Amino acid sequence: MPSTCPDRPCPTTGNNTDPGQRLRGRCLSPSQSETSMTIRRFDGTAIPKTIYSGPGCRSKMPAELDRLDAKRVLIISSTSVATKTPFLRDIQERLGERVVAVIDRVPSNLPVQAVRDAVGSAAEARPDAIVAIGGGIVHDMAKALAVMLPSGRDITEFVSRFEPPNTFHGIEVDTDPLPVLTVPTTFSAADVVAGGAVTDVESHEKLIFVHPKLTPVAVFLDAEVVASTPARILALSGMNAIHHCLEASYSKGAQPITDAFAFAALRQLLTVLPTFGPQGPAPALDIVQRAIDAASMSGLTYANSWLGIGHSVCHSLGGRFGLSHSAANAVMVLNSLRFNLEVAGDRIAAAARASGVSDAPDDATAAQAMIAAVEAVSDAIGAPKRLSEIGLEKGQSAVITEDVLGDPQTFWNPRPPVTAEIVAWLDDAW
């Protein structure tokens, strides 16, 4: 078993029980004192070693592959990138003879069988590196193949779980995965995250796999590529990034280093995301660059802080009902804030102050200002706010709650999961 701290367990490995008796699960702000100081652990291997940022930065990819001594590259792309933009061909031309195979069809919510099918074709090409260009599911596919190809194991063997009331089951990755290089086209932050998700279509369960070894080795935040994505898609995926920032800030795994990423990203996202609304011209390239930088920064918290119950709900909405992850997050971010307000008001207030939303000295006022600021962004981009608006039929709260109670993100939520309370919360969100 890996070593873990009883107060701040390693969020990626091991089977851990609820971290300490930290004031009934509340995360303390840095200014608050504790009888005995909590030991925190930040795993630097859970964030990418190299991140390039700037229009045209994909030009640095050949040099990164040289550094890795990678000679056989598998490219994974979304269909939209392959058919509606020049960027798949652009990257193929830049990499030349290194490209040994291309996968340009990745189904939404990434069924397990789609990953298994891809392993078969990818194995024949014998890649020594993977390049992913696209949205979240493309990067999830890349990381799934990266761990499956060298290990010979199925992706379902690398799944983290939550066992109520307070046990987290992490995963072990014994074989070094293939190196993954990512080029995002949305604000999902999957390009920097140390893991991903697949869907078991039989059980309708979204399976989460996270481990530092699955961290992309190089990321290319290229506004030229991102700007090819429709503004509506970018806007909704930006709400997902805001949700990352906020859940990371009040997660039971929150710490000063993850706060720094989350708060800086949140400040930028609240400023630039309204420009991606349905009215007005397309955002300028410098705005797109600021947005993708901030969105990816929101993901740098993930493998160290994890998130919360709002993302657990989104996993159920995608895995069980096939709903868009971005749209689900757009709905759940405000609902998550309100659900956790009573137990994490101080942390929500800290996010408000750090992101420039409020300078109110009392937590209640600052926390409410944070909620109002997120709602203002939601209004500016015309995002949905209720589950009924994104296609969920009435009466699904109980089955979603069952999924939530097994999702690993629920372990990290500051408010303990109580079945009746979650059902009532989801009923209100509908």
Please report, as a single letter, which amino acid is at residue 190.
Answer: A
Cβ pair 41, 10 in contact under 8 A: yes
> Quick one: how far is CA 87 from the chain centroid?
23
Furthest-apart CA atoms within the chain: distance in Å: 61
Q: What are the distances in angstroms from CA 28 to CA 23, 162, 257?
A: 8, 23, 14
Two tokens at 331?
A: 């709905």
pLDDT at 16: 52
- Cα distance from N-terminal residue to C-terminal residue, the chain: 42
Q: Please give the angle made by the CA atoms of 206, 134 and 266, to the nearest 5 degrees.
A: 75
What are the chain's domains?
46-226 (3.40.50.1970), 231-429 (1.20.1090.10)
Name residue 198's beta-bridge partners. Answer: 207
pLDDT at 36: 53
413: closest CA among 293, 251, 304, 301? 251
Owner of token pair 């100081």: 37
pLDDT along the chain (430 residues), means of 10: 36 43 32 58 94 98 98 98 97 98 96 96 96 97 98 94 86 94 98 95 93 97 98 97 98 96 98 92 95 98 92 98 97 98 98 98 98 98 97 98 96 96 98
Question: How far, in Å, CA of 263 to CA of 319, rounded?
Answer: 30
Please report, as a single letter, which amino acid is at residue 266.
Answer: L
Q: What are the distances in angstroms from CA 178 to CA 121, 212, 217, 285, 360?
A: 16, 13, 10, 32, 48
Q: What are the distances in angstroms from CA 8 to CA 42, 178, 257, 304?
A: 10, 29, 14, 10
pLDDT at 281: 85
pTM: 0.91
pLDDT at 55: 98
Owner of token pair 């072990």: 172
